[in-house]
Amino acid sequence: MINTRFSVAIHILSLVSAQTDKGVTSDFIAKSVNTNPVVIRRIGSLLKKANLLKGGPGVTGYSLVKKPQQITLLEIYKAVTTEEELFAIHDQPNPNCDVGRNIQATLNTSLTQAQQAMENELKRQTLADIIEHLSKQ
């Protein structure tokens, strides 16, 4: 299931991209996100591990590793979400029920297709697209 880490990660990267002339710290980002700096550091750590962000302790602020045009939303999504599937299907439906016996296989096919469509769309969009849209607001 998608949680807020994905949107916060996009917020972080967008803010870092927009503030290239300043050292963007976790405190600064936390004020923009309206959360605790610890949350920013945790997500920042995931983004660093995915080679999207650099900086942290001993360095004045964060910076992007790649240009916004080179960072897809899918990369960001994968950096901050677990390997679990987007949709969870309930366990152990009743095998004696016609629906219960077949629901997992049926849903698995449909939901896998939906997840693939979402990932294809995220692969098509970049951080630069988000930043461009933000600048028009």
Write phi, then psi, for 95 (nearest 5 degrees): -70, -15
In a domain, 131, yes or no: yes
Local structure of 12: helix, strand or coil: helix
The predicted model scores a pTM of 0.84
Q: Residue 70 has what DSSP assignment? A: G
pLDDT digits (tens, 9 = 90+) for 43-95: 999 999 999 999 866 667 899 999 999 999 999 999 998 766 677 778 888 98
Q: Mean per-residue pLDDT for 26-43?
A: 94
In a domain, 95, yes or no: no
Q: Mean per-residue pLDDT for 101-126?
A: 92
Give the bridge partners for 64, in sequence order: 53
Q: Mean per-residue pLDDT for 94-117?
A: 90
Number of domains in the chain: 1
| CATH number of the domain within which 80 lies | 1.10.10.10
Whether the CB-CB separation of 126 and 72 falls below 8 Å is answered with yes
Please report where in the chains the tokens 């899918």 appear, as a residue: 74
